[in-house]
Amino acid sequence: MRNHGELIGSVDVDSGSIFIGDPCYIVQDEAWREFSRPYIAALHKNKVFVSLEHKVGFEGKGVMACTLYGDGSYPVYAKFNKNGGIESMTIDFTQEDEDDDV
């Protein structure tokens, strides 16, 4: 089993892709669907990832990536520093069965 850190939750996927970004940049209504549609199309055409730009043209709005197996629920892990702050987070798209490592 990989050591991704401590399991802190999961993320559900219904578009075959994941978005990582600051929630304040996301419109939580139909406008987000319209905004994200071309990015999702480009993402599925390239089958890897796409970096989203702010309206003024520089990167940093977020990153979208295809999941390995499409839709599903994927575990999210975190590694913590000595002060309890999160150093990194990992979303495991492999859906490995932990019993396989026994």
The string of pLDDT tens digits covering residues 28-60 is: 656 666 767 777 777 777 666 777 777 777 788
With bands split at pLDDT 50, 70 and 90, how would you rate the model's confidence at 93? very high
Residue 11 belongs to what domain range? 6-96
Residue 101, domain member (yes or no): no
- Look at residue 100 in the predicted model and tell me its pLDDT: 44
The structure's pTM equals 0.72
Q: Which residues of 65-100 are buried (b: 16+ CB within 10 A; e: fewer)?
A: bbbeeeeeebbbbbeeeeeeeeeeebbebeeeeeee
- Look at residue 27 in the predicted model and tell me its pLDDT: 64
The total number of structural domains that make up the chain: 1
Residue 102, domain member (yes or no): no
Cα 12 off chain centre by = 10
